[in-house]
Amino acid sequence: MLHSLRAVARFFQTYIGWNKLGVLLSLAIIGVAATVLWRMLHNINIDEVVFALKATPPHNIVLAALFVAGGYFTLTFYDWFALRTIGRSKVPYRVAALAGFTSYSIGHNIGATVFTGGAVRYRIYSHHGLDAVEVAKICFVAGLTFWLGNVTVLGLGITIHPSAAGAIDQLGDTANRLIGLGLLTVLGCYLAWVWSAQREVGKGGWTVKLPRGPNTLLQIGIGIIDLGCCALAMYMLVPGEPNIDFITLAVIFVTATLLGFASHSPGGLGVFDAAMLVALYQFEKEHLLAGLLLFRVLYYLTPFALALVLLGVRELLLNLRGTREKIELAPVTKVAAPILSVEPENNDTGRP
């Protein structure tokens, strides 16, 4: 079996390439999502969607907004934790908070979070002495926090409620529970691995020391709180009837989010929505679509606009500071020039 898997891996690496395979997978996910959306929404009643938007209780929207704010606040600790992991603990929290919030807000909406978020982080951290390699390490550790949180939430959720995952993957409870237990087993093996000794990944200047056991638990906790806040925000926006428990929604939400992430479409647009519509089939489409639209406004559009404002103000202040420093240095330069030009003349005349 292992020999066969290696042969398949060599075939893909030699004749197709893993990058092309990733692109094909993304296009396949987007294509399936577009087909699903068309079949489910081509005859939707827009008036019903508008009615559902207006009928959403204001206090639910406020609570959802608070949970979104909690989620983005937790995201700032992705960078705070990563900075300490790579040995850059002197970078203040406010810088980590700005980099974490803006990189994720922009990356979520533009897509290709690894590149867009990395570019935003580099722009911010480079002013505090970090180079490109260190920023890449921050992205790696932050990504590890994200995946550890996802594996934990999905492993626990699918094990407890296997039917929740079945709404998306169409597998039976036994198969899904085995998947959940498998995820928890992988997580447990990783914890045992980093707990037993200091582990490193990478080579040369790209080496990253992985957090030890206790810090890995903190890392997992950060990821769980982030995902929990986001799932709670979505939970406040889905219709109240029929009733659905939070764990089921959390499993569906995280799975839909990962599918959107795998598609690399901006904000998982289309893919996330299609997965939610398929999995939450018990709700009326118009009412569920209203909740999804509100979630996009709260979780994607509003933070994106705020991040652009913050980065714009920051760039303006940096430019003003640079201009002021040039003005302060200008008189010194003008005074220094005549003095330098007089010295040779005095020496030429032989004067002491």
Q: Is the dihedral angle over the CA atoms 86, 79, 74, 227 positive or is it negative?
A: negative
Run of H or E including 209: strand 208-209
The stretches of 197-283 forming alpha helices (DSSP H) are: 213-237, 246-263, 271-279
* pLDDT score recorded for residue 267: 67
How many helices (H) and strands (E) in the chain? 14, 2
Distances in Å between the alpha carbon of 94 and those of 31, 72, 102, 166, 342?
Answer: 41, 14, 12, 42, 50
* pLDDT score recorded for residue 6: 53
The residues of the chain scoring below 50 in pLDDT are 1-2, 5, 8-9, 12, 18, 33, 332-352
* pLDDT score recorded for residue 98: 94
Q: Which residues contact 285 (CB under 8 A, 6 or more apart)?
A: 40, 41, 44, 277
* pLDDT score recorded for residue 271: 79
Phi, psi of 338 (to 5 degrees): -60, -35
* pLDDT score recorded for residue 227: 93
* pLDDT score recorded for residue 101: 94
Domain boundary assignment for the chain? 72-317
Structure tokens at 200: 């490193």
